[in-house]
Structure 1
Amino acid sequence: MKSFDYLRAGSTGEATGAGGAATRFIAGGTNLLDLMKLEVMTPDKLVDINRLDLKAIEETEDGGLRVGALVTNSDLAADPRVRRDYAVLSRALLSGATGQLRNMATTGGNLLQRTRCSYFYDTAMPCNKREPGSGCQAIGGYNRIHAILGASDSCIATHPSDMAVAMRALGARVEIEGTDGTRRTQDLGDFYRLPSDTPQVENALGEAELITAVILPAPVTSRQAYRKVRDRASYAFALVSVAAVVAVEEGKIARADLAFGGVAHAPWRNEAVEAILVGEAPSDALFDRAADTLLEKAKGQGSNDFKIPLLRRTLKATLRELTAEAAR
């Protein structure tokens, strides 16, 4: 591991003021430390933010929740309000990693996970995300876990977070503090960047900016599910996943908020798919139409071609589960 300076910040202002291009914030470190050991990431300075007052889950004025960036995955999943009103989020968190890692991993850090592409982790291999302009070895290489949506000729990596997929379906916003002390919020869907020809730019954070919270909107009456398909029952990243918030009224779908994981550079959402479902009576034919729209531009890379029919089946199974009573 490359040597680095270490600073323990006592305030958000001290943290952002100590930042720079070669500085990284560290909280749980469940992803960052692995990358540093492999010298995939080689920061000159680590700023420890664990002392910051960002560990609360608070109700907002409009009935939602403000989740501090340092709330652990375990505490967020176990919070009674999350379990009651945002069940898709609790289930997504519990499907990720192990209990020990969830006890350390934080909300802000979870959003900022790096891809698990094996070429990204191997510094002997070219990788546009790690070294812009060097090439993408995954294209034409081993790409079983890679993207089928939103990829580019520069990068076909996927985002590994389960939590972010659920938060995208819930319409979450990210609260960010800049170096001048001001805070802004940004829709999670706008926070992430698709690869295009700059896959090294993964999100909308500016230099030394810090995630301070995630804002969940007021809950809606709905049924919620998180369905994750993976190679083994635990400690495995999603091949595909579906986060769904669905409401059925008078035999018709009144709401369908859907997000997909394991298939793109960021948690994937396609509002055209949701529009097809809303106002219609649940049926396999309807679900097929929604899947057709979702997969219209899907593209496999050889080893991951199976993800296209797998995502179709997973979406349909999730919709059947959440609309079963209306379909009877």
Structure 2
Amino acid sequence: MKEFAYQRATEVRDALTLIAVDDGACYLGGGTNLVDLMKDGIQAPTRLVDVRHLPLSGVRQASDGRLAIGATTTNSDAAADFEVRRRYPALTQAILAGASGQLRNMATVGGNLLQRTRCAYFADPSVPCNKRVPGSGCPAITGAHHNHAILGWSPHCVATHPSDMAVALVMYDALVHYETLEGAGEIPLTSFFPPVGDTPQVETTLPLGALITAVSLPAPAPSARSRYRKVRERASYAFATVSIAASLDLYAGRVREARIALGGVASRPWRAQVAEAALQDGPATADRFRAAADAELAAAEALPGNGYKVTLARNLIEAVLTELAEATEARA
């Protein structure tokens, strides 16, 4: 690990200023991803600005009904919050599926959104990777890619986004709130992660030097039910092969609103807008769910080693939506 400076910020403006004066500086939250990248030689910041002591933790109800989760709130605290568990159960389920208790106790909500891919080629400085060195190539496309993207990838990168929490937040239409030296701003999480395109090294749409201060979620429909399901290669804290966060709001056996986001299939949490549109105002039946999944996955482009993900994603969408529909009927 290369030598670096360390400074602890106690005010948001101080943190922003420390980052602005050093091009090589990075914010440090829980460090559960960044410190590993530093040890492996993937990132070498010249300065770490510790933001854990900023007044940005906790979960609070906003006057407009939104629920705001501070950026330095630990994943454990976010998952355990009563209002999160009551109103956004898929978020709690996603966080608990994401890592061990020790990691959840350290990792922050803001940091979770900024974690980087777990692609083995990205994590190995001895091989090319367009995320690390733009223009050097993407060896995963012709190499080991059984757990890589099937949607939205490009010839420049086929890596997947690692976050479970972000999948649930995308499904719930969360907003990311941030501060810069010029003032505050917000970005819908559906726009926070850009398409990979020909710039895979650009992983968020945050302004340069911006600090995430909170994530907020709109009030869900009172009658909607939601769930997060994750398929992985082993049960113990592995990254998703395919995951789904889904919400279903039914009325008289028909879909009033469906929300679906997929993980493990793209460079970003994938909002399944085609499937959602196909379900709107239709009957809540397994056939309908399967057809919606097929419509969404018609755009999938599998590589030779990961075509199984298309079938897995299709089955997962149908199964989780069916479970939500049955749970709604049982409650009625």
Which interval holds the TM-score relative to the shorter structure?
A: over 0.9
Q: Is 1:17 aligned to residue 20 of structure 2?
A: no
Q: Distance in 2 between matches of 1:103 and 1:88?
A: 19
In structure 2, the residue matched to 1:245 is 247
> How far apart are residue 272 of structure 1 and its match?
2.2
Q: Is 1:318 aligned to residue 320 of structure 2?
A: yes
In structure 2, the residue matched to 1:56 is 58
CA contact (8 A) 1:139 1:156 kept: yes
Q: Distance in 1 between matches of 2:329 and 2:91?
A: 25
CA contact (8 A) 1:54 1:69 kept: yes
Choose from 214, 223, 226 the match for 2:225: 223
In structure 2, the residue matched to 1:202 is 203
* Unaligned residue ranges in structure 1 (runs of 5+): none
Per-residue Cα deviation, 1:274-308 (whole angstroms, up to 9, x for no partner): 11112111222211211111111101112211101
Q: Is 1:158 aligned to residue 160 of structure 2?
A: yes
Q: Distance in 1 between matches of 2:187 and 2:172?
A: 14
Amino acid at match of 1:261: G
> How far apart are residue 37 of structure 1 and its match?
0.1
CA contact (8 A) 1:25 1:49 kept: yes
In structure 1, the residue matched to 2:116 is 114
Per-residue Cα deviation, 1:219-244 (whole angstroms, up to 9, x for no partner): 22211110100011121000000101
CA contact (8 A) 2:225 2:328 kept: no
In structure 1, the residue matched to 2:89 is 87
In structure 2, the residue matched to 1:191 is 192
Query: In structure 1, the residue corresponding to 2:267 is in which secondary structure?
Result: coil
> How far apart are residue 57 of structure 1 and its match?
0.8
Query: In structure 2, the residue corresponding to 1:177 is in which secondary structure?
Result: strand
> How far apart are residue 325 of structure 1 and its match?
5.1
CA contact (8 A) 2:262 2:272 kept: no
Amino acid at match of 1:271: Q
In structure 2, the residue matched to 1:128 is 130
> How far apart are residue 35 of structure 1 and its match?
0.2
Q: Distance in 1 between matches of 2:282 and 2:299?
A: 24
> How far apart are residue 326 of structure 1 and its match?
6.2
Q: Distance in 1 between matches of 2:302 and 2:137?
A: 19
Q: Distance in 2 between matches of 1:103 and 1:220?
A: 30
Q: Distance in 2 between matches of 1:206 and 1:248?
A: 39
> How far apart are residue 3 of structure 1 and its match?
0.8
Q: Distance in 1 between matches of 2:198 and 2:271?
A: 21
CA RMSD of aligned residues (A): 1.2
Query: In structure 2, the residue corresponding to 1:118 is in which secondary structure?
Result: coil
Choose from 97, 100, 103 the match for 1:101: 103
Q: Distance in 1 between matches of 2:234 and 2:315?
A: 18
Per-residue Cα deviation, 1:247-270 (whole angstroms, up to 9, x for no partner): 111111111011000001110013
Q: Distance in 1 between matches of 2:202 and 2:28?
A: 19
Query: In structure 1, the residue corresponding to 2:200 is in which secondary structure?
Result: coil
Q: Distance in 2 between matches of 1:302 and 1:18?
A: 46
Per-residue Cα deviation, 1:83-135 (whole angstroms, up to 9, x for no partner): 00000100100111100000000000000010000000000010000000000
In structure 2, the residue matched to 1:6 is 6
Q: Distance in 1 between matches of 2:301 and 2:157?
A: 13
Q: Distance in 1 between matches of 2:68 and 2:117?
A: 26
CA contact (8 A) 2:226 2:246 kept: yes
Query: In structure 2, the residue corresponding to 1:43 is in which secondary structure?
Result: coil
CA contact (8 A) 2:273 2:296 kept: no
In structure 2, the residue matched to 1:27 is 29
* Unaligned residue ranges in structure 2 (runs of 5+): none
Per-residue Cα deviation, 1:21-80 (whole angstroms, up to 9, x for no partner): 311100100000000000101111110111100012110111121110000000000000
User: Judging changes above 3 Å, is the alpha-carbon distance between structure 1 residues 178 and 285 closer, same or farther for their aligned structure 2 residues?
Assistant: same
